[in-house]
């Protein structure tokens, strides 16, 4: 158990470069850790939780690794310097036809024609 913890700490200290180069291993470690501790909170048996965390980490890491092998490591999601930045999208909508000019609000009462009296 100490070897596993030590290897996880070493991988965590390695930085983001390892995670970018090996996403399958990164997903496996993260999902195994979450699976182990979520099981530990609810079940409390270390052996069972180790099996749950290991199974989750192995399965999701394997799936991610196979997807990355099939797709390849292309950088299609990155924006290069020669591409123009995306243009903002206009999100304003015109009001629906037939809407009254006052928006359906009641008309204010008419002025009674009272002139204010100067203070005496």
User: Alpha helix locations (H) across the chain?
Assistant: 2-13, 16-21, 23-42, 46-71
Counting the structural domains of the chain, the total is: 1
Give pLDDT tens digits for 87-101. 888 888 877 777 777
- Using 50, 70 and 90 to split pLDDT, how confident is the model at 106? confident
pLDDT of amino acid 25: 86
Residue 85 burial (CB count, 10 A): 6
Its domain, for residue 56, covers 21-71
Q: Is 41 a domain residue?
A: yes
Let me know: does 11 contact 20? Beta carbons within 8 Å: no
- What does the alpha-carbon distance between residue 60 and residue 30 come to, in Å, rounded to a whole number? 10
Q: Is 5 a domain residue?
A: no
Let me know: does 28 contact 61? Beta carbons within 8 Å: yes
Q: Is 39 a domain residue?
A: yes
- Using 50, 70 and 90 to split pLDDT, how confident is the model at 60? very high
């Amino acid at each position: 158990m100490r070897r596993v913890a030590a290897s996880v700490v070493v991988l965590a200290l390695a930085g983001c470069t390892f995670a970018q180069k090996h996403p399958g291993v990164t997903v496996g470690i993260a999902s195994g850790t979450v699976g182990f501790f979520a099981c530990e909170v609810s079940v409390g048996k270390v052996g069972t939780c180790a099996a749950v965390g290991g199974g989750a980490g192995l399965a999701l890491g394997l799936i991610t690794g196979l997807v990355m092998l099939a797709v390849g490591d292309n950088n299609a999601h990155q924006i290069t310097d020669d591409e123009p930045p995306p243009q903002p999208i206009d999100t304003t909508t015109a009001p629906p036809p037939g809407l009254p000019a006052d928006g359906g609000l009641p008309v204010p009462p008419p002025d009674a024609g009272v002139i204010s009296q100067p203070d005496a």
